[in-house]
Structure 1
């Protein structure tokens, strides 16, 4: 990342694409009357939108650059927190949905950790550290849900 502004654009896009993917998965689950999985994915989309708004607010005092969809440099060609499309499986259960969400959150955590490790800019490092802590909380929350479901 070359600037705080660029970091915030990436953070906003990451959460936006996560919300869109969770909505897509919820729509598929709904179309197969898989209500529990649809509800879980809708909840994850809602959380992603809350994080998107937070990223936008943090950038409120910055002039954020325009970056076209194809210009983002993601580690694996797709936004790290976009849940895997195999989640559109009509037979998926809530436990599998939670595992899918956990994988997405872990990729988001790794992305921010990589930014933190790679940056020399103190302001980017400070923001990345905050995002790492936040993503770690998301991972822990999903792990608790999985644990409660298993119990």
Structure 2
């Protein structure tokens, strides 16, 4: 990351994608009448929207600056938290939904950890550390759900 603004644009896009994917997972869980898991995914989507708003406020932008999808230099082809399209398949069971969510959050955590590890900018480092902490909490929450679901 070359600037705080660039970091915030990436963070906002990542959180925007995460909110969309978690809403899709909530819809999928609801389609197999698992209201508890659906509610969990709605809460995760809400957390992502809160992070999105935080990045927007810190960056001073109401809408994300125009960047074509190809302008982002993601570690993979898309935003790290963007779960695969099949993730919202209504035939998916709870274990698969939780696994997909865990993959998405783990990828987000790795992205922010990578920024933290590579940047020398103290302001970016401080922001990235905050996002690492929040993403680690999300990963832990999903792991608790997986353990509870398996029990």
Q: TM-score, normalised by structure 1?
A: 0.84
Look up the match of 2:32: 34
1:143 counterpart residue number: 143
Asked if the contact 2:28/2:92 (under 8 Å) is kept, the reply is no
Would the aligned equivalents of 1:40 and 1:94 in 2 still touch at CA under 8 Å? no
Q: What does residue 110 of structure 1 align with? A: 110
Aligned to 1:43: 43
State the secondary structure of the residue aligned to 1:35. Answer: coil
Name structure 2 gaps, 5 residues minimum.
Answer: none
Question: 1:69–1:117: structure 2 CA closer, same or farther, 3 Å change rule?
Answer: same
Count of aligned positions: 147
Return 5+ residue gaps in structure 1 as ranges: none
CA contact (8 A) 1:15 1:51 kept: yes
Kept in 2, the 8 Å contact 1:83–1:104? The answer is: yes
Q: Are the equivalent residues in 2 in contact too, given 1:102–1:143 (CA < 8 A)?
A: yes
Is the 2:29–2:90 contact (alpha carbons within 8 Å) kept by the matching residues of 1? Answer: yes
TM-score, with length taken from structure 2: 0.84
